[in-house]
């Protein structure tokens, strides 16, 4: 089998392994759907967000949280899932054994990224179905918005995967991976407009969050799912999709460089 065929074979293997692990399915696949349900129910009696003084107009809180949960799912599937998973494989000797086989590194990465892409597609479909039919969220109908959704989603997932692979080099052992990776991912979600209204955060915190890709993934998704009237709430007063692409591209390059410098089948200190 050539490198590409091996990559597809690894993707199928990684998908089977992923959906057999209950904790991974819950904390990466179902977690954004669970959080959307929690926020939608918790704020269901608070009135619409962005409503006029007389209470008319605006959107439901469920609709407001959809973009953030889509972005969170992308980050969780890529950064958290791969960061913890690959660190665990280093710790239990899986990577060491794979390093003794003819499996190319590219095929291994292709399997991991392919697994995240496929599972993320199913995740976002399920999330949008829950939003539409459980919470009556109106989804966009304009083709250009779905085109924006497609490139932001694909760009964001791949960038998250590369950063997750790079982050897997940080934990010293497989057992410490969750303690290292999850707090980083959780902090980014709170400061990047996933759980909290980004426009209401202090300016310095908005600027700090703008360094990282999750803020831009969430902003790109807000341009898809939120009405045009919400655009003025962004720090620059615009969706800035060109800047979204630029920042994600820069982080993709940074992640690729870090992967090249840090990834080893066997840890140097082992």
Tokens of 224: 């898809």
pLDDT at 54: 62
For the segment 132-191, what is each residue's pLDDT rounded down to a tens digit? 999 999 999 999 999 999 999 999 999 999 999 999 988 888 788 889 999 999 999 999
C-alpha 11/C-alpha 23 separation (Å) is: 20
Name the burial class of residue 48, with classes exposed (0-12), middle (13-18) and buried (19+) by CB atoms within 10 angstroms of its CB: middle
Task: Answer yes or no: are the C-beta atoms of 179 and 123 closer than 8 Å.
Answer: no
Say how far residue 120 (Cα) sits from the centre of its chain. Answer: 8
Q: What pTM does this model have? A: 0.92
163: nearest Cα among 181, 176, 189: 181
pLDDT at 55: 60
User: Any alpha helices (H) in the chain, and if so which ranges?
Assistant: 3-19, 22-24, 31-42, 61-75, 81-91, 94-99, 105-134, 143-167, 177-191, 203-209, 213-225, 241-262
Q: What is the mean pLDDT of residues 105-109?
A: 92
Minimum mean pLDDT among 9-23, 54-68, 124-138, 209-223: which range?
54-68
pLDDT at 56 over 80: no
pLDDT at 214: 96
79: nearest Cα among 168, 10, 169, 11: 168
Task: Answer yes or no: are the C-beta atoms of 258 and 252 closer than 8 Å.
Answer: no
For the segment 8-51, what is each residue's pLDDT rounded down to a tens digit? 999 999 999 998 887 778 878 889 999 999 999 998 878 788 77
Split at pLDDT 50, 70, 90, the class of 61 is very high
C-alpha 13/C-alpha 232 separation (Å) is: 45
């Amino acid at each position: 089998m050539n490198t590409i065929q091996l990559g597809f074979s690894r993707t199928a293997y990684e998908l089977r392994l992923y959906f057999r692990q209950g904790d991974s399915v819950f904390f990466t696949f179902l977690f954004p759907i669970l959080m959307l349900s929690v926020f939608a129910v918790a704020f269901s009696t608070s009135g619409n967000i962005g409503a006029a003084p007389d209470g008319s107009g605006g959107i439901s809180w469920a609709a407001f949280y959809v973009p953030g949960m889509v972005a969170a799912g992308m980050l969780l599937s890529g950064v958290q899932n791969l960061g913890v998973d690959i660190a665990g494989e280093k710790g239990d000797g899986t990577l060491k054994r794979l390093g003794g086989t003819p499996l190319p590194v590219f095929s291994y990465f292709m399997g991991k990224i392919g697994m995240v892409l496929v599972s993320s597609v199913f995740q976002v479909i399920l999330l949008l179905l829950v939003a539409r039919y459980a919470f009556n969220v109106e989804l966009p109908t304009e083709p250009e918005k779905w085109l924006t959704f497609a490139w932001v989603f694909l760009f964001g997932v791949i960038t998250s995967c590369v950063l997750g692979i790079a982050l897997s080099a940080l934990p010293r052992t497989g057992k410490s991976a969750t303690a290292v990776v999850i707090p980083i991912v959780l902090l980014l979600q709170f400061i990047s407009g996933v759980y909290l209204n980004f426009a209401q955060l202090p300016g310095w915190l908005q600027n700090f969050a703008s360094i990282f890709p999750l803020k831009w993934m969430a902003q790109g998704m807000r341009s898809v799912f939120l009405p045009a009237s919400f655009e003025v709430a962004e720090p620059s007063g615009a969706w800035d999709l060109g800047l979204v692409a630029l920042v994600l591209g820069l982080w993709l390059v940074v992640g690729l460089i870090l992967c090249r410098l840090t990834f080893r089948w066997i840890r140097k200190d082992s």
